Amino acid sequence: MGGICSVLLFLVLFGYSNSNEQCTASEKCSGQPAANKYSEASNKYITAINEAQTSYQPCESQNCSCYFNVIENDLQPFIDGITKQMIESVRSYGTKYQVIDKKLYRQKDCMFPARCSGVEHFIKPFLEKLPNMEMIINCRDWPQLVKNYGLHGPVFSFSRTQDYLDIMYPTWGFWEGGPAIKLYPTGLGRWDKHRQSLREASKKWPWDEKISKAFFRGSRTSDERDPLVLLSREEPDLVDAQYTKNQAWKSPKDTLNAEPAAEVPLEDHCQYKYLFNFRGVAASFRFKHLFLCNSLVFHVGNEWKEFFYDSLKPWVHYVPLKSYPTIKELRQVLEFFKEHDELAREIAERGYKFIQKQLKMKDVECYWERLLLEYSKLVRYDVVLDKELIHIK
C-alpha cells in the first residue's frame, strides 16, 4: 500500500493548480506553471506503477509454494507420462542422470564439471525420497527443445523463453559453477554467502547515502547494452556504465571503442541507487544479486526467465524496460525516478524484501525437491541401471 499512497500523494501535490482546479496531463490549468504539469512520460510511469501495485497480490510462501505453479506449468507437456523412448530421443541434449536404489549416477563425461557438481549438490540430499528414475539435465547456457519442432522429451535447463519446452531448474550457480571472471575465478556461486555479504553492503550504503546514478559493469555479451554505455559517455553524472573484458576480447573495438573497465565486486554495486540487469547468453546470473543491494533494479527485456522470475512483478519489485531501449528512453526513465525518489525507494525496498524472504537457499532446495518428486511421478517405465554411468558419491 505504501507505493499506492506515494502515487496518490504525488497526484494530490502536483495534480492541482494554485486555484485548486484539478489538472491532467492533457489539460491546461489556469495559474499552474508548466513545470508543475506531468509530462506524457511521467503519466505513463505513474499509471503503470499505480495499476501494478493496485492489482498485486503478495504470495505468502509455505515451503517455496509461491513457485509451485512454475513446476506444474513446466511439467504439463508431459502430463500423460514420460516413456523410455522420450528419454532416448533427447539423450544428446544434456547430461544423463539416474537415481537407482537411492544412489545417484551420471554419465562419465560432463561438459562443465563445476556445473554438474552444482546440480549434484542439490539432488543428493533427496535421494532417499526418490524412486528409480532417470533424467537429462542440460548444463549449457542455452535451452534445447524448441516448441513445435517435432522433438518431444523432458530436458531440464536453468533458463528458457516461451519458445522452448525445457523444464526449468534452479541453476547450479546457486552453489557453484556460475560465470567465471577475474573477481570470481572459480565461478559465481554460494548464493547463501552472497546473500550475507550483499545484505551487509546494503546496510553500509542505505538509500539516502547511495550515489544517485545508474550503474552497470559487464562484458559486451550483446549490443543491447550499448545504449546505456553510450548514455554514460554522454551524461556521466546520470549513468556509470562501462564494458569489461570477456574471454573473446581482442581490442577496444570489443568494448565499444574504449579500453575495458575493471570488474567491480557485486557488493560495490550497492553504492548506487539504480542498477541495470541485461540478459547474457540466456538469463542473467546477476539479476537476483542486484535486489539485495536494496537499490532500484532496471530489468531490460522479459523474454528470458529462471524459475523465480514470474513471482517478481514489474513496477512492484523492479522497473521493466523493453529489449533494446533507446538512449532517449533510458534517459527519460532515469530522470523520472531521480525526480520521484520516494517511488524509487519503495520499489527498491519491495524487490529487496521479496528476494530476502522468498529466495533463500532453503527455497532453492525446496524447489529442487518438489521438482524431482513431481517429475518422478510422471516416469512410466522401470528404470534399469545404465552400466556406462558412474556413481556420484
The CATH number of the domain where 272 resides is what? Answer: 3.40.50.2000
**The residue to which cell 497480490 is assigned:** 57
pLDDT higher than 50, residue 21: no
The answer as to whether 178 is a domain residue is no
Q: How high is the mean pLDDT of the chain?
A: 90
The answer as to whether 177 is a domain residue is no
Could you tell me which residues come within 8 angstroms of residue 71 by beta carbon, excluding any fewer than 6 positions away?
Answer: 367, 370, 371, 374
Q: Provide the greatest CA pair distance for the chain.
A: 85
Give the model's pLDDT for residue 103: 98
> pLDDT tier at 390 (50, 70, 90 boundaries)?
very high
> How much of the chain exceeds pLDDT 90, in percent?
80
One-letter amino acid of 308? F
Say yes or no: 107 and 198 in one domain.
no
> pLDDT tier at 19 (50, 70, 90 boundaries)?
very low
Cβ 245 vs Cβ 256: under 8 Å? no
Better pLDDT: 31 or 114: 114
Strand order in the sheet with 239-243: 239-243, 211-218, 272-277, 296-300, 319-321
Say yes or no: 345 and 374 in one domain.
no
Count of H helices and E strands in the chain?
12, 11
Name the catalytic one among 74, 80, 109, 141.
141
What gap in Å lies between CA 177 and CA 382, rounded to an integer? 33
pLDDT higher than 90, residue 150: no
Cα dihedral 252, 256, 258, 263 in deg (nearest 10): -90
Residues of the domain holding 75: 68-171+365-392
Give the model's pLDDT for residue 38: 57
Determine how many CB atoms are found less than 10 A away from the CB of residue 307: 24
Q: What are phi and psi of 245, to 5 degrees?
A: -75, 150
pLDDT higher than 70, residue 8: no
What gap in Å lies between CA 265 and CA 361, rounded to an integer? 21
pLDDT higher than 80, residue 257: yes
Say yes or no: 91 and 166 in one domain.
yes
Rounded to 10°, the helix 113-123/361-376 angle is 80
What gap in Å lies between CA 82 and CA 374, rounded to an integer? 12
What is the DSSP secondary-structure string of 3-33?
HHHHHHHHHHHHSB-TT--B--TTS--TT--
Active site residue 208: no
Q: Give the E-state strand segments of the chain in sequence order.
A: 95-100, 103-107, 133-137, 155-157, 167-168, 211-218, 239-243, 272-277, 296-300, 319-321, 389-392
The answer as to whether 116 is a domain residue is yes
What pLDDT, in 10s, does the model give residues 215-242?
Answer: 999 999 899 999 999 999 999 999 999 9
Helices marked H in 220-308: 226-234, 266-269, 287-291
The answer as to whether 181 is a domain residue is no
Give the model's pLDDT for residue 37: 46
The answer as to whether 176 is a domain residue is no
Say yes or no: 48 and 86 in one domain.
no
Say yes or no: 142 and 209 in one domain.
no
Could you tell me which residues come within 8 angstroms of residue 89 by beta carbon, excluding any fewer than 6 positions away?
Answer: 151, 152, 153
Say yes or no: 78 and 125 in one domain.
yes
Say yes or no: 285 and 338 in one domain.
yes
The answer as to whether 280 is a domain residue is yes
The answer as to whether 182 is a domain residue is no
Cβ 220 vs Cβ 246: under 8 Å? yes
Helices marked H in 59-172: 68-75, 84-89, 113-123
> How much of the chain exceeds pLDDT 70, in percent?
90
What pLDDT, in 10s, does the model give residues 284-294?
Answer: 999 999 999 99
Give the model's pLDDT for residue 67: 97
Say yes or no: 105 and 215 in one domain.
no
Say yes or no: 231 and 117 in one domain.
no
What pLDDT, in 10s, does the model give residues 352-376?
Answer: 999 999 999 999 999 999 999 999 9
Say yes or no: 31 and 117 in one domain.
no
What pLDDT, in 10s, does the model give residues 330-341?
Answer: 999 999 999 999
Domain count for the chain? 3
> pLDDT tier at 251 (50, 70, 90 boundaries)?
very high
Q: What are phi and psi of 177, to 5 degrees?
A: 85, 15
Say yes or no: 376 and 313 in one domain.
no
Bridge partner residues of 299 (DSSP): 277, 320
The answer as to whether 347 is a domain residue is yes
> pLDDT tier at 16 (50, 70, 90 boundaries)?
very low
Say yes or no: 48 and 117 in one domain.
no
